[in-house]
Each structure stands twice: as C-alpha cells, then as structure tokens.
Amino acid sequence: MERRRIGSLAVTVVGLGCNNFGTRLDAGGTAAVVHAALDAGIDFFDTADIYGKGKSEEFLGRALGSRRAEVVLATKFGMEMDERRKGAAPKYVHQALEDSLRRLGTDRVDLYQLHRPDPEVPIAETLDALDELVRAGKVREIGCSQFTVEQLREAERAAGERRARFVSVQNQYSLLHREPERGVLAECERAGLAFIPFFPLANGLLTGKYRQGRPVPEGTRLASGRRSTELLTEENLATVERLIEYAESRGRTLLELAFAWLLARPVVASVIAGATSPAQVQANASAGAWQLTPQEIAEIDAIVPARV
C-alpha cells in the first residue's frame, strides 16, 4: 500500500479510525478489526482519549500487543473526559498523555493531536507543553484537529524556535462536506502540513449502504438520531445515486470512489475510515488503490460541486 508523510512519519494512505472501539465494539470485536487491519497492510491507527471514555485506547493497546512497533499510533486529547480532565492547559497536556500511554500500554505516541482549539489557553502555552513531551521522547510528532486557517497560522507563529510544531491537521472532509476547500487545504500546502480527513465516508453515507427509495438498514450508524435527519436528505441520497452510477460505469464501488477522490489530493496523508468488522476493514484497505485521472476528478466534481 502506498505511504505518505505526516512530518517524519510515513503512514499508509488507508488508515483505521478507532472511534467505534469501546462504543459499538467490545474488546473482542476491537481485536478482530485491529488484526484484520494489520493483515491488510494498514499501519496507521487513529484514536482519541474521549472515544469510549478511554475504552478505545485501552482496547486498541490490548489488541496491538506485541505488534505495537509495527504501527504509527495517533491519539488526541482536549475533549472533556470529565469536569477535571479537559482542555489544553500545560499541566493537563502532561496528565492527558500519561493517561493515554497507560491505556494504550506503550511508552510513546507517534502523533499526538489537540482534538480541538481551546479558547481559554493561549496556543503558545499548549505548544510549550507539547514541546516538552517531544523532547522527553514520549511523543514523536504533534498535530491538531478542527483548526481554521487563522488558528493554524497563529500556531505556526507561536511555534517559533520550538522543536515541536504541528505537522498535521485533522478536519472533516468528504465528497459531501467540502468546507476545507475554503482555505485549510491551501494552507496545508503552503505550510507543509499533512491533512487527515475525518468522517471521510460522511458517517457511512458514502459506503453505498444507504440508497434512495430503500429502507435504512437496521443497526447502522444512521438508522436513527439527529445525524440521520441531517444526512439522509433527498438531495444527499440523489447525489449518492449519481455517484454510484458513475463509479459502476468505471467498474468501481462508491466506497472506492470516496477514497480515491480524497487521495487525489497530495496533501491528504491518510483516509482514516472506521470499521466495525474485518470485512469492512478489508474493503477499506482495497479502496485506496484507484488513482483518478484529472478528467475523472473533473467529472466527479461536476456531479458534486463544492458545497460549503
């Protein structure tokens, strides 16, 4: 599988998002998915302390076991774990990492990411703490998530002469959510940042399991709830049908199209789709092989114009 760079790290262009671990999957289910990913050649695993309130990290660390050295391990901090454990203040940055290391059963995190900006803490103070962790050898690279262009530039200015500076940004991006095209992607190219899209399959809408005029499959992520109402609109479902038709005309699936369109941008380092079964992992791993031509990209963009 092709690899791309996140700072000094080389990662497979298909990664594994671990937000299902500890919520939709128990320890056994997590192990099955992790082992399927490893067997498929995936070496980039992205989790967060908040996923399953720590269970994702715990289950992931347990599943990796002796194969920890084979993977690039990414996690995040900053979301509210409880009233005391949240944010990006320097003291908590150190505590959050120690907690994550313990749950993951490792002595280092390869990519440590601020899960979202903390308006109450100057970014320079957070970077000071992260720099200390890098110098201590507990973190190899640092990244951020849900940052705007202005926030990325502020972090770049604040980094100054520190060894540690953000090498990546993780924002929502897919064929159905193209907001990063308003500036963040261009900023990544300018600053040499890797871009990691989250929700690359639009909560499953781009897998092909949700079809116009058909019942929503039971037990799926969008079977009920607010996200179902937001995403399963007639407009989105009609767009999905057009994308399926286009993919099938090329002998491909909608899943392959969703991955290929994201990976057509060199600034995208890895597509970190989640999975709840080994079969989903194998499908995701195979989906990263289609390389779109400039003409195909233009044709897809004609079907789904940027909607920001």
User: What is the set of active-site residues?
Assistant: 51
User: How far apart are alpha carbons 122 and 240 in whole angstroms?
Assistant: 42
Distance (Å, whole) CA 108 – CA 218: 40
Structure tokens at 111: 């990519």
Sign of CA dihedral 86, 92, 98, 101: positive
Q: How far apart are CA 287 and CA 189, in angstroms?
A: 25
**Quick check: 43 and 12 in contact, CB under 8 A?**
yes
Residue type present at position 213? G
- 293 close to 301: Cβ distance less than 8 angstroms: no
DSSP string, 190-208: HHT-EEEEESTTGGGGGGT
Question: Which DSSP letter does residue 215 get?
Answer: P
* H/E element, 30: helix 27-39
Amino acid in position 2: E
Yes or no: say if 146 and 115 are a contact pair by the CB < 8 Å rule: yes
**Is the Cβ–Cβ distance between 44 and 270 less than 8 Å?**
yes
The full DSSP string for 233-258 is -HHHHHHHHHHHHHHHHTT--HHHHH
215 burial via Cβ count (<10 Å: 0-12, 13-18, 19+) = exposed
Contacts of 48 (CB under 8 A, 6+ apart): 18, 19, 56, 57, 75, 76, 77, 79, 113, 115
In whole angstroms, what is the distance from residue 142 CA to residue 19 CA? 19
